[in-house]
Structure 1
Amino acid sequence: MTQRTWPCRSDGLRYTALPFLTKDTGRAAPPSENHALSRPPNPRFHRARFAPGSPPLASDRRDFSNLPNDVLAKIAASFALPNLQAASLVCRAWRDALRPLREGMLFLRWGKRFKHGRGGVRPNLNKALDSFLKGAARGSTLAMVDAGLVYWEMGKKEEGVALYRRAAELGDPAGQCNLGISYLQAEPPNLKEAVKWLYQASDAGYVRAQYQLALCLHQGRGVDRNLPEAARWYLRAAEGGYVRAMYNTSLCYSVGEGLIRSHRQARKWMKRAADRGHSKAQFEHGLGLFSVGEMMKAVIYLELATRAGESAAAHVKNVILQQLSASSRDRAMLLADNWRALPSSR
């Protein structure tokens, strides 16, 4: 099977984000024939920035094509394939420097195929690990995290944590999150290190880390207990699609813990969690619907919660079913059978 590591040949700059400057004069070099896209200088831009006769700012004399390969590789280590391909199109120097990472993306893709049995291959955890490690050796933090996950599943936690740490130190939010959780689960746990890495991943917008950080703040693990701060991170993770955070956000609004008490917001987030398959949210949302007389909807959510293992939901559901006609009961069960959870981050 032929796999291309480069989308097209390029002998020069594909585009320029900043004008490249000559070394002897400090002035913008004229567009070369190799430029696929070039723009004339904008006189309004230059007049706004520089007084007549003043030299260009030092930051405008930087030629980003001259970044050392190891620096560029570290910058791009956590790039997903589309961003990596875009960066590789900047110039020949970047294309060459990022070639190992593009190769790492191919090994990452094959590793996922072997792990999950996709693309016409049978699941094989050993082959998946081998592919992930080859991608990691080429500098891909995405491959490091997946290799760490496989090691963790195999019970080789030290090897997994070492790969998480490599990815985390290169700025990968998933690696930072997994490293933080590993410290939480260690015997004995290293709570200070856990919170440090969870904060970094949370600031980068990684919703699982935001939820885990909120739990630490809520419980006072590795950090002083801070309910308003915990609720803020629950809410950010919920807004990012993390279903467990939706449920906890609903509870915070319901009792006024860390957030201003609001039954409307509590119901909104409980329903969102229920619609994404959170069994406890389905149970509690079903109870809420029952309390306001929406029997059919209540039965559906309580049936879903029952199927997910919430045994207490079955008793309430049976009480409601006795109040419904046979056709309404059948209709409710049919809707439950055809229900599909909305997509979410678990």
Structure 2
Amino acid sequence: MERRVEAVEGSDVVVEMGKRFKHGRAGVRVDMEKALESFLKGVARGSSLAMVDAGLVYWEMGRKQDGIALYKRVAELGDPSGQCNLAIAYLQADFANPKEAVKWLFQFASAGHVRAQYQLALCLHHGRGIERNLPEAAKWYLRAAEGGYVRAMYNVSLCYSVGEGFAKSHPQAKKWMKRAADHGHSKAQFEHGLNLFSEGELPKAVVYLELASRAGETGASHVKDVIVQQLSVNSRDRAMRLAENWRALPSSR
């Protein structure tokens, strides 16, 4: 037992050193080769964290098969991050294997992990690795959204808006679009701002359009400028202060 504890503690040290080399932390220069070397020492000691990190480095180096091999190893140990990374790797590899990806995604999603729920919903939505099924896709989008996954919130809104997987519902579409916007999704901020504009809520529209513009949604700036011309100086200044002080709600991304 003591040896096992020592091994775990030792693997934590090499994983931390690997992260320093990978991200350039604590005065250490970025060096992916040294990062990989450190992570592989952790792999040799049985660290699932090291397996995930080494797999990520292999992937970034273009050694995708080596990355997949490590993801598979850690996934078979039951590690959630490894399972999800393996599934996504099967979708993105040069020789993609969507059916294998869906198998792992379903296992991971069923255990309640929101990133896998979202990825599974995408596969169901587009018929990748599994027969296209819009009601099932919408169901998994909703689960991920309820778990705090922002991109899923946005997609739930779209599903309600166009009637894909759910019956059309403007109130539900609006609710989920606002929720995605409040959690920092820039396209949702743009679209929610447009919705507010169409409803005559001009100061609120300016807030969301300003947020979207700052996040890189180029069209939002033009619409915001048009609306600002219709506001009093006080209303405009208040809206800009609200945008300046705005903070996204916490999410699972």
Instruction: Check whether TM > 0.5.
Output: yes
Take 1:285 and 1:307, find their aligned partners in 2: how far apart are those partners?
15
Corresponding residue of 2:70: 163
Paired residues for 1:7-46 under 5 Å: none
Take 1:156 and 1:292, find their aligned partners in 2: how far apart are those partners?
52
Which of the numbers 17, 38, 61 marks the counterpart of 1:131? Answer: 38
Paired residues for 1:95-106 under 5 Å: 95-106=2-13
What root-mean-square deviation, in Å, do the aligned CA atoms of Structure 1 and Structure 2 show?
A: 2.0
Please tell me whether the aligned partners of residues 228 and 259 of structure 1 are also in contact (alpha carbons under 8 angstroms).
Answer: yes
Superposition TM-score, scaled by structure 1 size: 0.68
Corresponding residue of 2:52: 145
Q: Specify the SS of the correspondent of 1:285.
A: helix
Corresponding residue of 1:154: 61
Take 2:179 and 2:27, find their aligned partners in 1: how far apart are those partners?
36
Q: Which amino acid letter does the alignment assign opposite residue 286 of structure 1?
A: G
Corresponding residue of 2:172: 265
Residue by residue over 1:141-194, the C-alpha shift from the partner in whole angstroms, topping out at 9 and shown as x without a partner, is 221111111121222222211111111121112112111111112234211111
Corresponding residue of 1:110: 17
Take 1:158 and 1:100, find their aligned partners in 2: how far apart are those partners?
27
Please tell me whether the aligned partners of residues 64 and 93 of structure 2 are also in contact (alpha carbons under 8 angstroms).
Answer: no
Identity over aligned pairs, percent: 73
Take 1:113 and 1:342, find their aligned partners in 2: how far apart are those partners?
29
Take 2:24 and 2:152, find their aligned partners in 1: how far apart are those partners?
31
TM-superposed deviation, 1:247: 0.4
Residue by residue over 1:288-340, the C-alpha shift from the partner in whole angstroms, topping out at 9 and shown as x without a partner, is 21122221111111112122222222232122111001232233223323333
Take 2:26 and 2:174, find their aligned partners in 1: how far apart are those partners?
42
Query: Does the alignment pair 1:324 with 2:231?
Result: yes
Which of the numbers 201, 212, 217 marks the counterpart of 1:310? Answer: 217
Residue by residue over 1:43-86, the C-alpha shift from the partner in whole angstroms, topping out at 9 and shown as x without a partner, is xxxxxxxxxxxxxxxxxxxxxxxxxxxxxxxxxxxxxxxxxxxx
Take 1:208 and 1:243, find their aligned partners in 2: how far apart are those partners?
10
Instruction: Choose 1 or 2 for highest CA Rg.
Output: 1
Take 1:107 and 1:266, find their aligned partners in 2: how far apart are those partners?
47
Q: Mean Cα displacement is larger for which, 305-314 or 207-216?
A: 305-314
Q: Specify the SS of the correspondent of 1:316.
A: helix
Take 1:127 and 1:240, find their aligned partners in 2: how far apart are those partners?
36
Please tell me whether the aligned partners of residues 217 and 230 of structure 1 are also in contact (alpha carbons under 8 angstroms).
Answer: yes
Take 2:181 and 2:125, find their aligned partners in 1: how far apart are those partners?
23
Residue by residue over 1:217-258, the C-alpha shift from the partner in whole angstroms, topping out at 9 and shown as x without a partner, is 011111111111111111111122211111001112223321
Please tell me whether the aligned partners of residues 249 and 266 of structure 1 are also in contact (alpha carbons under 8 angstroms).
Answer: yes
Deviating above 6 A after TM superposition, structure 1's stretches of 4 or more consecutive aligned residues are none
Take 1:172 and 1:328, find their aligned partners in 2: how far apart are those partners?
51
Take 1:109 and 1:308, find their aligned partners in 2: how far apart are those partners?
32
Higher relative contact order (Cα pairs below 8 Å, separated by 6+ residues): 2
Query: Does the alignment pair 1:255 with 2:162?
Result: yes
Query: Does the alignment pair 1:186 with 2:93?
Result: yes
Q: Mean Cα displacement is larger for which, 118-127 or 283-292?
A: 118-127
Corresponding residue of 1:243: 150
Q: Which amino acid letter does the alignment assign opposite residue 230 of structure 1?
A: A
Take 1:155 and 1:331, find their aligned partners in 2: how far apart are those partners?
49
Superposition TM-score, scaled by structure 2 size: 0.91
Corresponding residue of 1:301: 208
Higher helix proportion (structure 1 or 2): 2
Q: Which amino acid letter does the alignment assign opposite residue 235 of structure 1?
A: L
Unaligned runs of 5+ in 1: 1-92
Please tell me whether the aligned partners of residues 174 and 201 of structure 1 are also in contact (alpha carbons under 8 angstroms).
Answer: no
Q: Which amino acid letter does the alignment assign opposite residue 81 of structure 2?
A: A
Residue by residue over 1:89-120, the C-alpha shift from the partner in whole angstroms, topping out at 9 and shown as x without a partner, is xxxx4x54454233222322332233333445
Take 1:123 and 1:160, find their aligned partners in 2: how far apart are those partners?
20
